[in-house]
Amino acid sequence: MASASLVRGQGGVSRVEVLLGESVGRIAPEIYGHFVENLGGVVYDGIWVGEGSSIPNTGGIRNDVVAALKRVRPSVIRWPGGCFADSYDWHDGTGPRAGRPKRTNFWVDSAEWPSTANKTGPQVFDPNQFGTVEFARFCRAVGAQPYLAANLRSLPAQDFWHWVEYCNSPAGSTTNALKRASDGEAAPLGVQYWGVGNESWGCGGNFSPEDYAIEFKRYSAWVPKYGLPFSMIGSGPNGGDNEWTRKFFQKAATQRGLGAMWGWGLHHYSWNTSAGKTTDWFAGKGDALRFTREEHYELLREASLMEGLIQSHWAAMGDVDRGHRVKLVVDEWGSWHKPGTEPFPEALIGQQNTVRDAVLAGLTLNLFHRHAEKVAMANIAQLVNCLQSLFLVHEDKFCVTPTYHVFGMYAEHQGADSVRTVVATPSISWGRAVGLEGLNASASVRGKRAVVTVVNPSFDGAREVGVRVHGGRVASAVGTVLTSSDPHHHNTWTNPRAVEPGALSVRVQGDTLRCTLPASAVAKLVLELG
Ligand code: AHR
């Protein structure tokens, strides 16, 4: 984050300077995207219960998840993976549900399965009840656009073409359009966003960037558009691997293969390395619920690296794509904790979600706003029962997580104009966590209304904050805050409202708003401008 010295924090007061006249760019609503992979308890139990279920559902899709998700205005949802995508045959999820094939899920051999998990159910042997039209209906029910990730590792390019045809060709025009109609959707599904593989450097085929550039071109060339908006997303780097980006763009440009690309994927997860086993993918992570002050800061510091990743990949892309036609799509981000807090044993890579995770979400979304001209979409991983989820659900049990509330509080930023926001505050260094911003903020404007979101990452210290608005007069301000007396606090099925937003007292003094941000807090100030 740019922590320029416009105004130094004085007298213990941290300063946030909001420059209304300096637009960064429009905040793409798609930054508020989600991710649904057919992994553990995300789809089966998390979203899909089937029409015959006693759990209230509409066409097999849980009503509780739909109703709550709608409230936070999800813009786009990515499916079916993740690593799962590169093993998925979309044909399996079409046709009458009773006749669909049962397949072994990509995640069958994951080392993270709890020993108590039942490994005979739909999380392991996929009955394909939730296919393309079921996913499209879920998206429609919550008001989100679908984003499909195509299989590049194990299916030919022709299948990608045919999936596009199944989704988007006009009613009655093709055999695949008729197939879609017999699955209950005569009109085109109008899928705009298409991922061409996933993590092609890893589970998506272990390609080199040059080889992936050739594959990308083969898959993306001459795909029919049917006059509909159509945006293809390339499978980008693993975190800070700038060379992957650079080499891909160089190779793709020489092959005239960049033309079809709208977005370049970037994945960045945050985890603790306190176990000291950083080479062990799973055991090297920290616990979702039991963490020290140092681990608290370490996790948030890891998340804050997102800013450098956005900047360095943007620079590498710009070496070739000089006009920056291609934007960044951060289609997987969030916290990743070690096994042990899954909501139920079949929820592979499921984890609890505390106030610390909410702070991570608020901080990351602020970074996306601050780079609104670069980031065109982002998808937190994952929506239900997996990684940094918004919901923990199982059978008839349901609760939202603190992270859900951040998405609700921030929803108003969607589509507004991000304006430059400069923070002056001492940074935090604690053990392994060195140089974490002491305060993190972003602001957006729409007409006479501005929204400022401010995150206090401190483990236990409140902060006096002065927010000064340049270029406008503040007529009134209303504050909301998500916090708790302890960053370990979280919601459970028996105590589902332990963490939820409340009012934040804000004083307007001329062009400055004053408030006290509690420790580990995500705050929103809504300003009416005079
Ligand atoms: O989100 C879980 C996994 O993390 C995804 O399947 C993969 O893309 C990433 O490595």
pLDDT digits (tens, 9 = 90+) for 421-455: 999 999 999 998 999 999 999 999 999 999 999 99
SS3 label, residue 92? helix
- Let me know: does 411 contact 73? Beta carbons within 8 Å: yes
Q: How remote is the CA of residue 14 from the centroid of ligand 1, in Å?
A: 37
Residues of the chain with CATH 3.20.20.80: 30-414
Pocket of ligand 1 (CB under 6 A): 37, 81-83, 198-199, 332, 381-382, 387
Supply the pLDDT for residue 256.
79
Average pLDDT, the chain: 95
Measured N-to-C along each axis, helices 209-220 and 157-168 cross at an angle, to the nearest 10 degrees, of 40
The CATH 2.60.40.1180 portion of the chain extends over: 6-23+419-529
Residue 194 has pLDDT above 90, yes or no: yes
pLDDT at 316: 97
pTM of the model: 0.96
Burial class (CB in 10 A: 0-12, 13-18, 19+), 24: buried
> For residue range 296-315, what is the model confidence (pLDDT) as tens digits?
999 999 999 999 999 999 99
Q: Residue 32: CB partners within 8 Å, gap ≥ 6?
A: 72, 73, 74, 75, 365, 378, 407, 410, 411, 414
- Are 403 and 388 a contacting pair, CB within 8 Å? yes
| Percent residues over pLDDT 70 in the chain | 96
Task: Identify the pLDDT of residue 257.
Answer: 75
d(CA 381, CA 388): 6
Specify which residues 86 forms β-bridges with. none
Examine the pLDDT at 4 and tell me if it is beyond 90: no
* DSSP strand pairing (57-58 vs 433-436): unpaired
Ordered DSSP codes for 361-397: HHHHHHHHHHTTTTEEEEEEE-SBSSSS-SEEEETTE
* Ligand 1 center from residue 85 Cα (angstroms): 10
Nearest-atom index, ligand 1, CA of 199: 8
pLDDT at 152 over 90: yes
Q: Which is the closest atom of ligand 1 to the Cα of 349?
A: 2
What is the average per-residue pLDDT within 481-490? Answer: 98
Residue 367 has pLDDT above 80, yes or no: yes
CA 366/CA 522 separation, integer angstroms: 11
Cα 174 from chain centroid (whole Å): 35
Per-residue pLDDT at 258 exceeds 50: yes
- Least-confidence region, from 160-169, 173-182, 256-265: 256-265
Quick: pLDDT tens for 310-329.
999 999 999 999 999 999 99
Q: Residue 69 is inside which H or E element, if any?
A: helix 63-71
Q: Can you name the CATH fold of 30-414?
A: TIM Barrel (3.20.20)
How many angstroms separate the alpha carbon of residue 362 from the centre of ligand 1?
A: 21
From 37, 282, 348, the mutation candidate for ligand 1 (largest count of ligand atoms within 8 A of CB) is: 37
Whether the predicted pLDDT of 280 surpasses 90: no
Local structure of 105: helix, strand or coil: coil
9-52 confidence digits (pLDDT tens)? 334 689 999 999 999 999 999 999 999 999 999 999 999 999 99
pLDDT in tens, 101-135: 999 999 999 999 999 999 999 999 999 999 999 99
Q: What is the pLDDT of residue 37?
A: 98
Question: What pLDDT was estimated at residue 273?
Answer: 84
Would you say domain 6-23+419-529 falls under CATH 3.90.420.10?
no
Structure tokens, 389: 């989820």
Each residue of 390-424: pLDDT tens digit?
Answer: 999 999 999 999 999 999 999 999 999 999 999 99
Name the closest-CA residue to atom 2, ligand 1. 82
pLDDT in the model for residue 127: 98
Helix (H, G, I), strand (E, B) or coil at 109: helix
Tokens of residue 393, six digits: 């659900």
